[in-house]
């Protein structure tokens, strides 16, 4: 199977990262220039008042998109860590932190990768994520709740899972997705402020100069498509991130089990994380796809019947695959049929 070829998956993730960046810039340009086109068509026949000629919205948003894409590439990891209020673990202050550093060093050796920088997220809900551009600039972050909840073998399974994301270049793709989801949400919110203004411009017949009554039909169509784009863009972007994340989690589980040679350690950790049905409030929704389990409420997202509502595949399916790697029967076959 293609997913078993790790080198092909790494190359595919690099290509996806490039296409994602290009698509983001094109989409943001459409949001800008599409609005300019609609407003231009709505005002071109006006005898008095404002005529929209210079595509200022498109120029500004295109420049903004290019800047955000570059910052996402150069500083996306730092932005994600800052948003989670994570602090770097340099000198362990507790036995749990010393154990974490030791486990990260072990998994770096097992995976053949440089040791990533280690971060602690001040949150009582157990979770973890990896971020960065490539294996040489990678970061692994875990919550305080994870350190308190898992034993050493389980922690090793989780860290191995995150090291798998680093090795497979998932971190580059996921970091770009997190940064661009945030940027699209901001752009969408900003452009919604033009809705009332655009609505008035779409009725040029109301101007005292006596334009065409009823407005320009083409302008109304363009503005309608433009406004629809603003409404659905955040949802479509999040669904894209969830789709990518669900596929990558299965591969990271398998690769992590290869590093530890103990699939049941990760399975045990996932069971404990599933039992914590609260939310990891320190991690923003836009970065949900980066975590080992969905940082939101896991009551629905973790069920097989609600796979479309979560940023991750159902934990029951992940457990079944890990148990199969250990040649153990699935202990809860009924869960998979829900």
Residues with a known catalytic role: 162
SS3 letters across 17-28: HHHHHHHHHHHH
d(CA 100, CA 327): 29
| Residue whose structure tokens are 């120029």 | 59
Backbone angles phi, psi at 141, to 5 degrees: -125, 135
3-state secondary structure of 128: strand
Structure-block tokens of residue 247: 């596929």
d(CA 257, CA 265): 8
The Cα-based distances of 308 to 173, 205, 256 in angstroms read 20, 46, 25
d(CA 136, CA 117): 10
């Amino acid at each position: 199977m293609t997913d078993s070829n790790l080198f092909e998956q790494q190359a595919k993730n690099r290509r996806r990262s490039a296409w994602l960046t290009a698509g983001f810039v094109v989409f943001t340009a459409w949001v800008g220039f599409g609005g300019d086109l609609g407003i231009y068509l709505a005002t071109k026949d006006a005898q008095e008042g404002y005529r929209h000629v210079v595509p200022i919205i498109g120029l500004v948003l295109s420049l903004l998109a290019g800047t955000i894409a570059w910052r996402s590439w150069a500083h996306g990891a730092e932005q994600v860590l800052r948003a989670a209020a994570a602090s770097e673990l340099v000198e362990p202050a507790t036995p749990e932190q010393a154990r974490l550093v030791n486990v990260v060093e072990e998994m770096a050796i097992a995976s053949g990768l440089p040791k990533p920088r280690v971060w602690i997220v001040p949150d009582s809900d157990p979770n973890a994520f990896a971020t960065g551009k490539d294996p040489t600039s990678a970061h692994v972050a875990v919550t305080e709740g994870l350190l308190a909840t898992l034993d050493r073998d389980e922690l090793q399974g989780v860290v191995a899972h995150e090291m798998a994301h680093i090795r497979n270049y998932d971190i580059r793709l996921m970091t770009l997705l997190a940064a661009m989801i945030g940027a699209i949400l901001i752009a969408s919110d900003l452009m919604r402020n033009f809705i009332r203004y655009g609505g008035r411009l779409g009725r040029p017949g109301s101007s005292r100069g006596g334009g065409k009554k009823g407005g320009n039909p083409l302008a109304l169509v363009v503005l309608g498509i433009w406004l629809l784009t603003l409404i659905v863009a955040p949802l479509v972007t999040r669904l894209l991130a969830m789709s990518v994340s669900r596929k990558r989690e299965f591969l990271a589980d398998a690769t992590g089990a290869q590093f530890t040679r103990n699939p049941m350690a990760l399975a045990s950790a996932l069971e404990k994380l599933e039992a914590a049905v609260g939310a990891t409030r320190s991690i923003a929704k836009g970065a949900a796809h980066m975590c080992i389990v969905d940082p939101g409420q896991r009551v629905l997202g973790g069920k097989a019947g609600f796979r479309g509502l979560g940023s991750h595949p159902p934990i029951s399916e992940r457990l079944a695959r890990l148990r199969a790697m250990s040649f153990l029967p699935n202990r809860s076959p009924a869960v998979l049929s829900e």
